[in-house]
């Protein structure tokens, strides 16, 4: 049983994008005609109302610490619409005074001057899906922007008053060299973002790239790229705090940290996933994936794609899947606080991982070694039964 509920976040899924990228396995849908953006905001608020009713006891009095608009491409929604949702959410839920509110944006979909509007609407953190500063690589990835457009978009956001900006970069791209990957990092650093997400391109099932794989660097080359880029980011003052996340001091992404620390979050929108803890355990709920099906059931049970209570036997794996991504690990006591299980539930698996050199032998902390970081999937898998 959970004695103290974890922090609460709000994830909002905006499912449309201009064009589906060949590597993308997210719940995103290419724009056809004019998507019903205004009506979608109404449905989001109806969805939120219904979740608040269903989880009323578990959510009572808990403030929203972070909000994240993901997609798709949330910047296809006008600032006024984003503001309308945030205003509606604040009427329904208490927000922390310093709540972090992030909006994902594609540099190719932002109109000049829009950043002022998002800032006024309550968005205080912008995340740009740049992926690369090499125009050839951007074309191969199916991106709709150029490197120059990405740089200009970041500068526009800074000019509008944004001081908290993330850039998403991918590495191990088709035929990418070590020098090319480092050039991407250099150009990102030159823009002065507060946060850089740097993650490897992988071939995900049911994507165009999975069906027709491009020529990617092999594992050794990808590892060499990762190590070199990590070193360059560190030298520029970006500390790695998660497998693929680097931040200037005090600029870690609070929303993602809540995921990795096994916090709670409401998932609103088509295909959105949520996790809520209460006296009976840890619940997961997800919404219908297709926007049409989701919008056809505003606030109704049919909008729910699935509901489940995580079995006690699965909680150690679920917890480690998130917590062990953090480079500094988590306090060992957090496991019991976030899962309701005793430390004894993971004692044997933890000891086995320590013996293999995957976890540090620290009684008060769950933390991977460098070897454990490299073989993270194996470490996490050790807690699956």
Structure confidence at residue 2 (pLDDT): 67
The CA distance from 211 to 131, in Å, is: 21
| Both tokens assigned to 283 | 């619940």
pLDDT in tens, 312-332: 999 999 999 999 999 999 999
- φ/ψ of 268, rounded to 5, equals -115, 135
Residue 11 DSSP SS3? strand
Helices H / strands E in the chain, number of each: 16, 16
pLDDT in tens, 72-89: 999 999 999 999 999 999
Say whether pLDDT at 1 is over 60: no
Element (H, E) at 330: strand 330-331
| Residues counted in the chain | 385
8 Å CB contact between 181 and 174: no
Domain ranges across the chain: 8-258, 313-381
In this prediction, what percent of the chain has a pLDDT beyond 70? 98
- Residues in Cβ contact with 301 at an 8 Å cutoff, skipping those fewer than 6 apart: none
Q: Given pLDDT bands bounded at 50, 70 and 90, which one contains residue 3?
A: low
Q: Cα–Cα distances in Å, from 270 out to 264, 282, 300?
A: 19, 22, 13
Say whether pLDDT at 20 is over 80: no
Structure confidence at residue 165 (pLDDT): 98
Residue 118 DSSP SS3? helix
Say whether pLDDT at 248 is over 70: yes
Structure confidence at residue 33 (pLDDT): 78
Helix runs in 95-177, H state only: 114-121, 135-140, 147-160
Say whether pLDDT at 147 is over 70: yes
Structure confidence at residue 367 (pLDDT): 97
The CA distance from 349 to 320, in Å, is: 11
In CATH, the architecture of 313-381 is Orthogonal Bundle (1.10)
| Both tokens assigned to 191 | 């823009």
| Both tokens assigned to 26 | 């997210």
- Least confidently predicted of 97-106, 110-119, 348-357: 110-119
pTM for this prediction: 0.95
The CA distance from 310 to 138, in Å, is: 40
Residue tagged 């991504």 (tokens)? 325
Note the CATH number of domain 8-258. 3.20.20.70
Please list the residues that pair with 125 across neighbouring strands.
102
8 Å CB contact between 66 and 256: no
Angle at 195 between CA 189 and CA 198, to 5 degrees: 75
Residue tagged 């794989």 (tokens)? 213
* Mean pLDDT score of the chain: 94
Nearest to 329 by CA among 261, 376, 378, 382: 261
């Amino acid at each position: 049983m959970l004695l103290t509920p974890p922090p609460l976040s709000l994830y909002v899924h905006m499912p449309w994008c201009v064009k589906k990228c060949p590597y993308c396995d997210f719940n995103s849908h290419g724009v056809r005609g004019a998507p019903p953006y205004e009506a979608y905001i109404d449905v989001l608020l109806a969805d939120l109302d219904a979740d608040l009713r269903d989880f009323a006891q578990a959510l009572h009095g808990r403030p929203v610490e972070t909000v994240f608009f993901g997609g798709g491409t949330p910047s296809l929604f006008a600032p006024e619409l984003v503001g309308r949702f945030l205003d509606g959410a604040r009427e329904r839920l208490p927000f922390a005074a310093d709540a972090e509110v992030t909006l994902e944006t594609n540099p190719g979909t932002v109109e000049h001057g829009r950043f002022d509007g998002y800032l006024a609407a309550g968005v205080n953190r912008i995340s740009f899906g740049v992926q690369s500063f090499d125009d050839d690589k951007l074309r191969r990835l199916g991106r709709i922007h150029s490197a120059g457009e990405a740089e200009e978009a970041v500068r526009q956001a800074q000019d509008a008053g944004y001081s908290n900006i993330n850039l998403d970069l991918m590495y191990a791209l088709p035929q990418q060299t070590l020098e090319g990957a480092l050039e991407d990092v250099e150009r990102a650093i030159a823009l002065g973002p507060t946060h850089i997400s740097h993650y490897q391109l992988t071939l995900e099932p049911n994507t165009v790239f999975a069906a027709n794989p491009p020529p990617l660097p092999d594992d050794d080359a990808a590892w060499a790229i990762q190590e070199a880029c990590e070193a360059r980011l560190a030298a520029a003052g970006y500390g790695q705090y998660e497998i693929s996340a680097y931040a200037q001091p005090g600029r870690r992404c609070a929303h993602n940290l809540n995921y990795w620390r096994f916090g709670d979050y409401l998932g609103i929108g088509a295909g959105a996933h949520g996790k809520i803890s209460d006296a009976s355990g840890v619940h997961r709920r997800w919404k219908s994936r297709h926007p049409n099906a989701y919008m056809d059931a505003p606030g109704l049970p049919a909008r729910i794609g699935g509901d489940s209570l995580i079995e006690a036997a699965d909680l150690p794996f679920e917890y480690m899947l998130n917590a062990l991504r953090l480079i500094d690990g988590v306090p060992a006591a957090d496991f019991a606080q976030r899962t309701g299980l005793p430390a004894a539930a993971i004692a044997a698996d933890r000891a086995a991982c320590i013996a293999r050199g995957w976890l540090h032998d620290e009684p008060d902390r769950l933390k991977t070694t460098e070897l454990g970081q490299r073989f993270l999937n194996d470490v996490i898998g050790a807690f699956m039964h």
